[in-house]
Amino acid sequence: MDWLTPQEWAAVALSLRVALWATVGSLPLAILVALALARGTFPGKQLLNGLVHLPLILPPVVTGYLLLITFGKRAPVGAFLYDTFGLVLAFRWTGAALAAAIMAFPLMVRAIRLAIEAVDPKLEQAAATLGASRLMVFATVTLPLVLPGIIAGAILAFAKAMGEFGATITFVSNIPGQTQTLPSAIYAFLQVPGGEASALKLVGVSVALAMGALLASEALARRAAQKVQG
Amino acid sequence: MTVSIQISHDFGPFRLDTAFQAGPGLTALFGRSGSGKTTVINAVAGLLTPQQGNITVAGRVLFDSAAGINLPAHKRRVGYVFQDARLFPHMTVAQNLRYGKRFNHRPGPLPESEVIDMLGIGGLLSRRPTALSGGEKQRVAIGRALLSAPDILLLDEPLAALDATRKDEILPYLERLRDQARLPILYVSHAMTEVARLANTLVLLQDGTVRRAGPVTNLLSDPDLAPLIGLREAGSILTARVLAHHDDGLTELQTAGGHLHLPRLSAATGSTLRIRIPAHEVMLALTPPQGISALNVLPAVVDQIREGSGPGVLLRLATGPDYILARITRRSATALGLRPGTRCHAIVKSVSVAQGDVSGPDQSSA
């Protein structure tokens, strides 16, 4: 990769790592939350729905600041995590992954929830009469029908995580090689004279990754719709 | 009795309060829409929990509100064929058929190859449900239910969503199912032609309660039940044996009350058929009719007369040990002086063959 300098490459690699962990780490929770929102009836459902969508409408810098005062090394949750597990989030790449996960969470939940709502509960009833327990119904009917939606949601979340800027820079700053993600690097290159060429290269990488993810997500969503309507 | 059902459930404006028993063979639950037919089989399947009652199938208690027993749907061993098939769209036909096998290793009532042959779905196995016609979907759904090794089959108007051609395509399969599956079958329907053709036992439901239950031939020849079945649909069922195929294109049938001639049937000589005589297709004469084109005249004795609110009366006629229903006008009944015990002659204008092993037209006028 000699067309990228080590600093540029570090930013791309860090962004990929952050986005991957953000996506994989939040996926199980996103499926559970999407299930609860699509099928559950419980008090506080609207509150949960609002909470999940909050990062979508809050200014990212507000989300970043809230993370800082919750997960900072001396903040209540942050101190607990450090004392118990030795885990530090603020100003580390792990924090960038957390910020990206939270910012991408609404998109992921939304895609999965729509896929779950498209599954006909009558098919699940049919599976039950054929001898499938609730868990087996989920594993053999619901999940396969929702799978394309889950993949689409995960790809969308990955793309969002790759581009997350406001919350990340507020929570973990912009330390080259440690917390400098792709967008942070572009921002940094634009602040120094002669950095425009580097910034432009990274912009190209950014656009390519985002377009690729969007196309893949659209294709999978279409396949999901076809299958579920079957 | 293999199936015993006694349930009550209050839906607010509608109250279900149903009790009946069903033996082997096909038991039809018949009633207008909203009479509670589907609710009953949903309760058997465990898709609905009645407020009170008990359900026993083949010696297993599936539900007993007093004893606190309520088996979940997946432990009830019911094969449910839904009106809308509900095949799994992400699986092939073969995977759909074998779905129930993943969860139990009991042998089913029929081996897989026999089920596939019986339903004629061998050529569809690698297809997806989207590539099937409505009739094919229903046949696969029946196979899927059978192969889950059920103790009972529940069919919820499996023909209602199909057009007339598709219905005729599936009915023979349902007859084979009734005769070969050796399972009690509960069949929900509001179409009397299906019931007349398929049912051994009939349960008549009205507003959530059982009006009558019993052998289908008895109930269909009961004039008191005709208003419930629908006067246009009223008609009796007889069993007939094919005596001979004549050179002039007629087939002679023997019933307990006499011989009938129908346009050529494809059934073999000696085989037995179920035939249906609609009440409005029967005329009465006091003397043996002469100079008349009708071929089918059975000597009969008036057994029961039921007057309705309209201009018609329903008569039950004894023809030997069989009963047939006739619907004539009150004016004619008075003019002929008909009363129980009157000897007369029933002129049968049309007979429909209610059995699948006839490839010719289903409705024949004679």
Q: Residue by residue, what is the 3-state secondary structure of chain A? A: CCCCCHHHHHHHHHHHHHHHHHHHHHHHHHHHHHHHHHHCCCCCHHHHHHHHHHHHHCCHHHHHHHHHHHHCCCCHHHHHHHHHHCCCCCCCHHHHHHHHHHHHHHHHHHHHHHHHHHCCHHHHHHHHHCCCCHHHHHHHHHHHHHHHHHHHHHHHHHHHHHHCCHHHHHHHCCCCCCCCCHHHHHHHHHHCCCCHHHHHHHHHHHHHHHHHHHHHHHHHHHHHHHHHHC
Length of chain A: 230
B128 contacts on A by Cβ (under 8 Å):
230
User: Using only C-alpha atoms, what is the Rg of chain A?
Assistant: 20
Which chain A residue has the Cα nearest residue B106?
A131
B148 contacts on A by Cβ (under 8 Å):
129-131
Check CB contact of B285 with chain A, cutoff 8 Å.
Answer: no
Residues B150 and B263 both lie in one domain? no
Check CB contact of B83 with chain A, cutoff 8 Å.
Answer: no
CATH number for position B128: 3.40.50.300
CATH number for position A49: 1.10.3720.10
**Do residue A132 and residue B102 have CB atoms under 8 angstroms apart?**
yes
CA neighbor of B39 nearest in space, from B67, B17, B61? B17
Q: What span, in angstroms and rounded, lies between the C-alpha atoms of B260 and B236?
A: 15
The 3-state secondary structure of B17-59, one letter per residue: EEEEEECCCEEEEECCCCCCHHHHHHHHHCCCCCCEEEEEECC
Residue A228 has pLDDT above 70, yes or no: no
Residues 6+ apart with CB under 8 A from B363: B350, B352
Residues 6+ apart with CB under 8 A from A41: none
Structure tokens at B28: 């039809």
Least confident piece of the model among A61-75, A85-99, B320-334, B351-365? B351-365
Please report whether residue B257 resides in a domain.
yes
Residue B235 has pLDDT above 90, yes or no: no
Give, rounded to a whole angstrom, the gap between the first and last alpha carbons of chain B. 41
Residues B174 and B111 both lie in one domain? yes
Q: Residue B180: give the domain boundaries.
A: 3-220
A122 contacts on B by Cβ (under 8 Å):
82, 84, 86
B-proximal residues of A, 97-126, CB under 8 Å = 120, 122-123, 125-126
Structure tokens at A87: 């885990």
Q: What span, in angstroms and rounded, lies between the C-alpha atoms of B121 and B138?
A: 11
Check CB contact of A41 with chain B, cutoff 8 Å.
Answer: no
Please report whether residue B230 resides in a domain.
no
Task: Map residue B326 onto helix, strand or coil.
Answer: strand
**Type of residue found at B123:** G
Mean of pLDDT over chain B: 88
Whether residue B30 contacts residue B73, with contact meaning beta carbons closer than 8 Å, is answered with no
pLDDT, tens digit, for every residue of A71-117? Answer: 988 888 989 998 888 888 888 999 999 999 999 999 999 999 999 99
**Do residue A131 and residue B77 have CB atoms under 8 angstroms apart?**
yes
Residues B298 and B213 both lie in one domain? no
Check CB contact of A135 with chain B, cutoff 8 Å.
Answer: no
Length of chain B: 366
ipTM: 0.81
Residues B211 and B257 both lie in one domain? no
**Do residue B90 and residue A144 have CB atoms under 8 angstroms apart?**
yes
Q: Residue A216: give the domain boundaries.
A: 15-229
**Do residue A133 and residue B72 have CB atoms under 8 angstroms apart?**
yes
Please report whether residue A203 resides in a domain.
yes
Please report whether residue B226 resides in a domain.
no
Question: What confidence category does residue A67 fall into, taking pLDDT thresholds of 50, 70 and 90?
Answer: very high
Q: Is B83 exposed, middle or buried (0-12, 13-18, 19+ CB in 10 A)?
A: middle
Which chain A residue has the Cα nearest residue B98?
A130
Residues 6+ apart with CB under 8 A from A124: A137, A141, A142
The pLDDT value recorded for residue B29 is 95
Check CB contact of B105 with chain A, cutoff 8 Å.
Answer: no
Please report whether residue A7 resides in a domain.
no
Q: Which of B189, B220, B251 is the last residue of a domain?
A: B220
**Do residue B74 and residue A131 have CB atoms under 8 angstroms apart?**
yes
Residues B68 and B199 both lie in one domain? yes
Q: What span, in angstroms and rounded, lies between the C-alpha atoms of B230 and A4?
A: 84
Residues B298 and B211 both lie in one domain? no
Residues B195 and B294 both lie in one domain? no
H helix and E strand count, chain B: 9, 22
pTM: 0.81
Please report whether residue A87 resides in a domain.
yes
Please report whether residue A151 resides in a domain.
yes
Residue A209 has pLDDT above 90, yes or no: no
Q: What span, in angstroms and rounded, lies between the C-alpha atoms of A56 and A51?
A: 10
The domain tally of chain A equals 1
Residues B325 and B301 both lie in one domain? yes
CA B78 to chain centre: 20
Please report whether residue A10 resides in a domain.
no
Which chain B residue has the Cα nearest residue A121?
B86
Q: What span, in angstroms and rounded, lies between the C-alpha atoms of B44 and B57?
A: 9
**Do residue A228 and residue B89 have CB atoms under 8 angstroms apart?**
yes
- Which of A130, A134, A230 is opposite residue B144, by nearest beta carbon? A130
Q: What span, in angstroms and rounded, lies between the C-alpha atoms of A18 and B141?
A: 48
pLDDT, tens digit, for every residue of B5-51? Answer: 999 999 888 899 999 999 888 999 998 888 889 999 999 999 999 99
A125 contacts on B by Cβ (under 8 Å):
47, 73, 86
Whether residue B42 contacts residue B48, with contact meaning beta carbons closer than 8 Å, is answered with yes
**Do residue A227 and residue B78 have CB atoms under 8 angstroms apart?**
no
Average pLDDT rounded to a whole number, residues A11-16 = 93
Please report whether residue A173 resides in a domain.
yes
B84 contacts on A by Cβ (under 8 Å):
122
Please report whether residue A205 resides in a domain.
yes
Residue B344: φ, ψ to 5°: -155, -175
CA neighbor of B189 nearest in space, from B80, B34, B29, B45? B29
Please report whether residue A2 resides in a domain.
no
Residues B152 and B188 both lie in one domain? yes
Q: What span, in angstroms and rounded, lies between the C-alpha atoms of B281 and B350?
A: 6
Please report whether residue B95 resides in a domain.
yes
Please report whether residue B37 resides in a domain.
yes
Q: Strands B350-353, B297-307: parallel, antiparallel or unpaired by DSSP? A: unpaired
Q: Which residue has the tokens 């003397």?
A: B287
- Residue A206, CA distances (Å) to A187, A194, A203 in order: 13, 20, 5
- Residue A177, CA distances (Å) to A6, A7, A15, A86 in order: 9, 7, 11, 21
**Do residue A126 and residue B45 have CB atoms under 8 angstroms apart?**
no
Q: Which of B167, B196, B220 is the last residue of a domain?
A: B220
Which chain A residue has the Cα nearest residue B75?
A131
Check CB contact of B160 with chain A, cutoff 8 Å.
Answer: no
B89 contacts on A by Cβ (under 8 Å):
123, 145, 227-230
A129 contacts on B by Cβ (under 8 Å):
45-47, 73-74, 76, 78-80, 145, 148
DSSP strands (E only) in B33-147: 52-57, 60-64, 69-70, 78-81
Q: Which of B197, B220, B243 is the last residue of a domain?
A: B220
Check CB contact of B73 with chain A, cutoff 8 Å.
Answer: yes
Whether residue B85 contacts residue B140, with contact meaning beta carbons closer than 8 Å, is answered with yes
pLDDT, tens digit, for every residue of B141-180? Answer: 999 999 999 999 999 999 887 888 888 878 888 888 888 8
CA neighbor of B81 nearest in space, from B15, B156, B180, B10? B156
Residues B242 and B216 both lie in one domain? no
The distance of A198 to chain B (nearest Cα, Å) reads 47
Strands ordered across the beta sheet of B258-263? B258-263, B250-255, B235-245, B272-278, B350-353, B363-365
Structure tokens at B279: 């009440």
The domain tally of chain B equals 2
The distance of A137 to chain B (nearest Cα, Å) reads 10
Question: What confidence category does residue B364 fall into, taking pLDDT thresholds of 50, 70 and 90?
Answer: very low
Please report whether residue B145 resides in a domain.
yes
pLDDT, tens digit, for every residue of B253-274? Answer: 999 888 999 888 888 888 888 8
Chain A interface disruption, residue of B103, B142, B186, most A CBs within 10 A? B103
- Which of B86, B89, B104 is opposite residue A131, by nearest beta carbon? B104
Long-range contacts of B120-127 (CB under 8 A, 24+ apart): B120/B173, B121/B93, B121/B97, B124/B93, B125/B92, B125/B93, B125/B94, B125/B97, B126/B92, B126/B93, B126/B94, B127/B92, B127/B93
